[in-house]
Amino acid sequence: MSVNWIWSSYAILSGAHGLLAILFVSLLGCDQPEEWPPLFGNITQAYSLRRFWGIFWHKLHTKPYDSFMSPLLSLRAFLMFFLSAICHALSNRAVHKKTHIVSEMHFFLLNYVLCLTETVGEWTTGHTLKLDWRLRRAVGYTWVLFVFICLVPGWRYPLVLDAVYSSPRQAV
């Protein structure tokens, strides 16, 4: 579960994006190929939590959310994570009839805090800590995996439990 959400979201969103690109570019001729860039970045670049969210993960939310923010706003990243939590809660409400706002806020805002911690840590040790790039990436991938192993169950389990308890039970 800790990484399944990544791959299932990646597959579903990329698959739908690819099919729609074929439809609008090749079949209907409404769009140009450059109007359909890939949704996700390169997974090999996700060797920190900041790089996971900022480089690898899809950017479906950034343009709509940018309209709520001043370009000079120093809390842009916080607002991105906050608005992501709100939108995920609203999606949960539409699909599952419950928002799970607490678990959404917990997951997304803790990710923000951890990204901020990475930034501060890199800023304070980046000039003195010289690691081989392979070691830096290995430590980074392990860190990202550790964070998701710790945070994702608390984020996703409420939805799983709802699905289990709301499914019709068969008499034996």
Domain residue ranges in the chain: 1-39, 41-166
Average pLDDT score over the chain: 89
pLDDT the model gives residue 87: 92
- pLDDT tens-digit map of 15-32: 999 999 999 999 999 999
pTM of this prediction exceeds 0.75: yes
pLDDT tens per residue across span 47-104:
999 999 999 998 887 777 777 777 666 788 898 999 999 999 999 899 888 889 999 9
Give 67 or 108, the one with higher predicted confidence: 108
* pLDDT of amino acid 55: 93
For 102-111, the CB contacts below 8 A with 24+ separation are 103/154, 103/155, 103/157, 103/158, 104/155, 106/151, 106/154, 106/155, 107/151, 107/152, 107/154, 107/155, 108/81, 108/82, 108/84, 109/81, 109/82, 109/85, 110/151, 111/49, 111/53, 111/81, 111/147, 111/151
76-96 helix and 133-166 helix, angle to the nearest 10 degrees = 30
Residue 170 has what pLDDT? 55
Q: What is the pLDDT of residue 60?
A: 81
Q: What confidence score (pLDDT) does residue 124 get?
A: 86
Is the pLDDT confidence value at 118 over 60?
yes
More confident residue, 106 or 98: 106
Q: Is the pLDDT of residue 122 over 80?
A: yes
28 CB-side CA count, 13 A: 9
Whole-number Å distance between alpha carbons of 66 and 52: 19
